[in-house]
């Protein structure tokens, strides 16, 4: 088999592929037409950021089994086309972890001691000791927003420097954080208490502009900020104002709202340290990503599974075929549980009862995790990385079987435990009908798990269904289906409604104003 490496991929990675018995051609600077001509002769393609794996190139790669991106982003690879043609696309999400973490701490220390400013002044011929009195980090409190791979490593560096570390991450448990030496707190608590704050989160709809005039006002006066994560997390106008008025003593930025950035009002300030997105720019990081991708290419070409596939599962067909009918309901149960549970997940139990217990259910447990983690994680979750993603977040996964079917020929029951509560959902498939949600927290229901669903917790008493129907009618929300579940007359019950459209947050909150209803959750499947 042959591998084509583009964009001057590090030789250390290519050497591994050759030693594994595969032929490697290393080329750079080819046009799309030139690649189209030669790609049919290759089984794997490795690119960095320069080469674009376009639909035409992928379609021409009749023998392509895998495309590897020696880096994190895969924007230069057409994922839909690769998926359509059964080509696995992998990246190297961990290769730059050390580089980014070390750059973060380098920026933090440079900011604390005004090293770039003092350096520039001395090089200009001025010996000035008085203007650059710094602060020590010993015994200071570092707030780490985002306890992923990079955030965890930054926390370990800070602990080694004698700092107290507090952190916020909605998908990490307090017990897990404690094992890292980090005190887990809410985001607001972190920004109020910390002397230094560093960010290690993706830019999403929720995190864009997270650090703005309002959140800055909550911070300790004289706080110092570091952002080596993503541009746009910090509102640069609000940061400028806070640096000018002294609310923020100093800041260090490696990323910006618009890149490349060659001019900014921030650059006029003396209390800021800036670098041009150098977080992953180390010799070692480039070697690491090349080795990581090379190992995955070797594994796939030998018939194995890639650990960082970003588009399709690489599970073997013979494992999937027997359980394929249950894959839909398994993923839906995971997605539903993620949306109803509160708090950071610490344990997931998946129980298989009845006929399904006779099968190899490991692919189903993986797809349950995919459904569970997709709504709450910033990374693309698939069959390959779902178990690893759960493990990295300290989530215990338990799989069990019960050959007794009881009320159903086959039943999948998912139990989720957080530091706040325990919830459970159960589902099955009916011949000729399809997927069915059959239990919520022990209450028997019969609902179709698709589209928008409202799950109500209520008291079982006359008139409840009428109140709910009237309330939704007043808000022009049509009910497609409804089912209720109870254990004893007059006690707690659940109501599951399929509705035709999205429910505004205000309407959902107003549900609890109805006498007898004490919980309302909107789920999108």
Contacts (Cβ under 8 Å, ≥6 apart) of 9: 26, 46, 47, 48, 70, 290, 293
Q: 82, 90 in Cβ contact below 8 A?
A: no
Cα 134 to Cα 212: distance, rounded to the nearest angstrom: 26
CB atoms within 10 A of CB 359: 16
Closest CA to 154 of 136, 137, 173, 170: 137
Backbone angles phi, psi at 404, to 5 degrees: -80, 125
216 within 8 A of 247, measured Cβ to Cβ: yes
Between CA 116 and CA 272 the distance in angstroms is 9
Q: Quick check: 418 and 430 in contact, CB under 8 A?
A: no
Known catalytic residue: 259? yes
| E strand map for 56-211 | 66-69, 88-90, 141-145, 164-168, 183-184, 196-199
Running DSSP on this structure, what letter comes out for residue 268? Answer: G
**230 classed as catalytic:** yes
List the structure tokens of 426: 């159960």
Indicate if the alpha-carbon torsion angle 206, 200, 93, 399 is positive or negative: negative
C-alpha distances out from residue 6 to 30, 50, 69, 274, 454, Å: 8, 8, 10, 31, 50
Catalytic residue among 59, 94, 193, 277: 277
Point out which residues pair with 481 in neighbouring strands.
498
Cα separation, 238 vs 169, in Å, equals 24
Sequence-distant (≥ 6) Cβ neighbours of residue 445 within 8 angstroms: 437, 438, 439, 483, 484, 485, 494, 496
- CB contact at 8 A, 445 and 438: yes
Q: How far apart are CA 192 and CA 172, in angstroms?
A: 20
Q: Is the peptide bond before 288 cis (omega within 30 degrees of 0)?
A: no
Which residue in the list 12, 34, 206, 259 is annotated as catalytic?
A: 259
Select which of 69, 152, 230, 436 is catalytic: 230
- Angle, vertex CA 377, rays to CA 371 and CA 382, nearest 5: 45
Give the catalytic positions in this structure: 230, 259, 277
């Amino acid at each position: 088999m042959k591998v084509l490496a583009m964009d001057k991929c590090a030789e250390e990675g290519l050497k591994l592929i050759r030693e594994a018995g595969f032929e490697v051609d290393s080329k750079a600077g080819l046009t799309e037409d030139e690649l189209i001509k030669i790609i049919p002769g290759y089984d794997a393609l490795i690119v960095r950021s320069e080469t674009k794996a376009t639909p035409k190139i992928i379609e021409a790669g009749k023998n392509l089994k895998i495309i590897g991106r020696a880096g994190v982003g895969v924007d230069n690879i057409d994922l839909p086309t690769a998926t359509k043609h059964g080509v696995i696309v992998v990246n190297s999400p961990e290769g730059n972890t050390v580089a980014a973490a070390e750059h973060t701490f380098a920026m933090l220390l440079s900011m604390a001691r005004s090293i770039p400013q003092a350096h520039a002044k001395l090089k200009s011929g001025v010996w000035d000791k008085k203007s650059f009195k710094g602060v020590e980090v010993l015994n200071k409190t570092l707030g780490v927003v985002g306890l992923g791979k990079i955030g965890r490593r930054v926390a370990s560096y800070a602990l080694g420097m004698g700092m107290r570390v507090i952190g916020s991450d909605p998908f990490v448990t307090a017990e897990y954080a404690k094992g890292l030496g980090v005190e887990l707190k809410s985001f607001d608590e972190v920004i109020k208490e910390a002397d230094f704050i560093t960010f290690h989160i993706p830019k999403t709809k929720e995190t864009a502009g997270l650090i703005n005039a309002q959140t800055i006002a909550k911070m300790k006066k004289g706080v110092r900020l570091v952002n080596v994560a993503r541009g746009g997390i910090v509102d640069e106008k609000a940061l400028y104002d806070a640096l000018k008025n002294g609310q923020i003593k100093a800041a260090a930025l490696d990323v910006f709202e618009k890149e490349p950035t060659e001019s900014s009002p921030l650059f006029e300030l003396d209390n800021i340290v800036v670098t041009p997105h150098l977080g992953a720019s180390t010799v070692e990081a480039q070697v690491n990503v090349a080795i990581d991708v090379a190992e995955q290419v070797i594994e796939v070409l030998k018939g194995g599974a890639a650990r960082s596939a970003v588009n399709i599962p690489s599970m073997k067909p013979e494992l999937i075929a027997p359980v394929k009918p249950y894959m839909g309901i398994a993923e839906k149960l995971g997605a539903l549980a993620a949306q109803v549970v509160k708090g950071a997940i610490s344990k997931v139990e998946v129980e298989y009862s009845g006929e399904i217990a006779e099968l190899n259910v490991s692919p189903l447990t993986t797809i349950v995790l995919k459904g569970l983690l997709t709504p709450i994680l910033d990374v693309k979750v698939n069959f390959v990385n779902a178990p690893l993603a759960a493990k990295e977040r300290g989530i215990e996964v338990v799989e069990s079987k019960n050959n007794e079917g009881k009320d159903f020929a086959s039943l999948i029951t998912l139990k989720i435990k957080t530091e706040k509560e325990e919830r459970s959902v159960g589902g099955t498939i009916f011949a000729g009908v399809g997927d069915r949600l059959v239990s919520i927290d022990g209450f028997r229901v019969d609902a179709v798990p698709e589209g928008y669903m409202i799950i109500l917790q209520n008291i079982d008493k006359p008139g409840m269904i009428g109140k709910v129907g009237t309330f939704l009618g007043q808000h022009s929300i049509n009910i497609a289906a409804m089912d209720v579940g109870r254990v004893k007359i007059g006690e707690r019950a659940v109501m599951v409604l399929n509705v035709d459209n999205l429910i505004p947050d205000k309407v959902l909150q107003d549900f609890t104003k109805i006498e007898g209803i004490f919980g309302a959750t909107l789920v999108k499947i």
